[in-house]
Amino acid sequence: MSVKTNIPPATKTFDPARRSFLGSAVAAGIALAPGVFLYGIGTAKQVQARSLDEAASSSVRWGMLIDVNRCDSGCDECVTACNTENGLQGHGRPETDAQWIRKIELRDPASGRQNSLPVMCMHCEDAPCVDVCPTGASFKRPDGIVLVDKHTCIGCRYCISACPYKARSFVHEALHDQKTHAPRGKGTVESCTMCVHRIDDDRQPACVEACNSKGGGAMLFGDLNDPDSEISKRVATYATQQIRADLGLNPGVRYRGL
């Protein structure tokens, strides 16, 4: 399945991301707004994914919907795929080895109900890691993906302390045989990139692909800003949850059946 970068009509509204888009449009000036306006009045609904020399657009909000009912306790295909894709090799030291995505087993002590679900960077709209980073190395792309600039991260680990989802890892040793599309660095912090290199190449994140091909098909990736995307339709149809919704961070990763 290919990812379509649909730019929504200007007349449609979509809550916080829309607001931040408007904010950034004001800040960014007049370059972006007329384009969106033209798309709004134009007839073509579908546009091609952006080219690599084009900046990420805030009209898109990449996100995931994870159906916990379809996530099997014994399955960790998403974790394996992430490790392979991003070259995360363990060193046999579980306390310091990086984990960008992990499976959490839940049990309600009152009812005994059990669930299994993957947890990774939630790509929050109001990301605490971005707020606390002293150098701005932790940043959010306009399309909602939260990343670490490996050139300006000083390794202070404040973002790890600030992340409510325990989604970040610190590189505790020298690395070898890195993937060129997922650069890492000793002494810097890292986390799930939502496979940004794949997204920019019009492909799905590795975990989602693996879940759908080998796992239970629990993970859905797409543009939360596009009302016609599958993820938006499902979020609009079914009750979905955010982890630690009380913090008001508006995570890009949602769950169903939690």
Task: Please give the residue ranges that form the binding site for another protein (CB under 8 A).
Answer: 91, 93-99, 102-110, 119, 128, 130-136, 152-158, 160-166, 168-174, 185-189, 243-244, 247
**Shorter beta-carbon distance to another protein: residue 51 or 111:** 111
**Shorter beta-carbon distance to another protein: residue 33 or 156:** 156
**Shorter beta-carbon distance to another protein: residue 197 or 254:** 254
Tell me the CB-side half-sphere exposure of residue 19, using CA atoms within 13 A: 5
Q: How far apart are CA 2 and CA 184, in angstroms?
A: 27
Nearest distance, CB of residue 156 and another protein, angstroms: 6
Nearest distance, CB of residue 173 and another protein, angstroms: 4
- Phi/psi of residue 38, nearest 5 degrees: -65, -40
**Shorter beta-carbon distance to another protein: residue 172 or 179:** 172
Q: Cβ distance 231 to 220 under 8 Å? A: yes
**Shorter beta-carbon distance to another protein: residue 125 or 200:** 125
**Shorter beta-carbon distance to another protein: residue 7 or 189:** 189
Structure tokens belonging to residue 32: 């972006």
Nearest distance, CB of residue 23 and another protein, angstroms: 15
- Phi/psi of residue 133, nearest 5 degrees: -65, 120
Nearest distance, CB of residue 132 and another protein, angstroms: 5
Q: How far apart are CA 102 and CA 77, in angstroms?
A: 10
Q: Cβ distance 223 to 231 under 8 Å? A: yes
Cα 90 to chain center, whole Å? 23
**Shorter beta-carbon distance to another protein: residue 51 or 93:** 93
200 Ramachandran zone, left/alpha/beta (phi>0; psi -120 to 50): alpha
Nearest distance, CB of residue 17 and another protein, angstroms: 19
SS (H, E, C) 88-99: CCCCCCCCCCCC
First vs last C-alpha separation in the chain: 26
DSSP codes, 179-248: -TTS---TT-EE---TTHHHHTTT---HHHHHHHHTS-S-EEEEETT-TTSHHHHHHHHS--B-TTGGG-
Nearest distance, CB of residue 69 and another protein, angstroms: 16
Nearest distance, CB of residue 230 and another protein, angstroms: 26
